[in-house]
Amino acid sequence: MKSKTKLLILSLAALSITFSSCKKELGCMDVNAMTYNPEAQKDDFSCVYSHNLAQGIWNINPDCEELSVLGQTIALDEQLPDSINIQGEGNTTLFIDIDGTEVTGEIDFSGIITVDEQTISIDPGLGVPLDVLIVGDGAVYLDSTGVMNLTYTFTLPSPLDLLGTQSIDCAITLSK
């Protein structure tokens, strides 16, 4: 009878060790998500995707270089809105609406944004719309913040075109 009790106790102990060691690591199992956990053995539906995170209304805080033209300072910071709207298409394409002007960008799975060179029309504070070449990069982060670094390049209208091509760099902080 004692041997049966010992056998029963040993069996229960072995069984409890077996079940306790089967606990699986929870996490996001999608390699395309920003929150991918390579240790995860069971999906807990915690995946966050950069393309989805990037979309929506973002408050912006621009820090742009100023341009001096014939003694007049043009501050692009004052020309930019307080917020931008980002929409998406597919898994990587972004449409960034900057006060009615649409800039196209791409975002990778880790949240890195690339704005390839493109021409837009804006008024940098001269009262005349200019064709502006824009290019840049940036990132969005899991805490709903981000950054954009954009370079605006343009030629001033005549007779100011004698001043040559101008370029303004903007570092923009994003927050939701």
Q: What is the pLDDT of residues 63-89, one digit of tens each?
A: 999 887 777 787 888 888 999 999 999
Cα(173)–Cα(1) distance, integer angstroms: 75
Does 76 share its domain with 152?
Answer: yes
> Is there a single domain that holds both residue 73 and residue 12?
no
**Residue 37: what are its φ and ψ, rounded to 5°?**
-120, 105
Q: Based on the domain organization, do 23 and 59 belong to the same domain? A: no
The tally of domains found in the chain comes to 2
- C-alpha closest to that of 47 among 35, 56, 58, 59: 35
- 35 and 107 share a domain? no
Q: Residue range 24-43: average pLDDT?
A: 95
Mean pLDDT for the chain overall? 86
Same domain, 75 and 105: yes
Structure tokens at 132: 């502006």
**CB burial readout 120-131, b (16+ within 10 A) else e:** bebebebeeebe
pLDDT confidence band for 94 (50 / 70 / 90): very high
The confidence band for 3, taking pLDDT boundaries of 50, 70 and 90, is low
pLDDT for residue 134: 94
Report which secondary-structure segment, H or E, holds 96. Answer: strand 93-98
> Which amino acid would we find at residue 32?
N
Shared domain check, 160 and 134: yes
Q: Provide the CATH number for the domain around residue 75.
A: 2.40.128
Same domain, 12 and 92: no
Q: What is the mean pLDDT of the segment spanning 42-55?
A: 95
User: Please, are residues 153 and 169 in contact by the beta-carbon 8 Å criterion?
Assistant: no
- Looking at the fold, whether 24 and 64 belong to one and the same domain comes out as no
| pTM for the full predicted model | 0.79
Query: What is the rounded CA–CA span in Å between residue 14 and residue 17?
Result: 5
pLDDT, position 73: 82
Amino acid 154: pLDDT:
82
Question: Do both 33 and 61 map to the same domain?
Answer: no
Domain range spanning residue 109?
Answer: 50-175
Q: 32-46, 59-73, 129-143, 150-164: which range is least confident on average?
A: 150-164
- Give the separation between CA 85 and CA 100, rounded to whole angstroms: 9
Residue 143 and residue 107 in one domain = yes
168 and 137 co-located in one domain: yes
Regarding whether 83 and 36 lie in a shared domain, the answer is: no
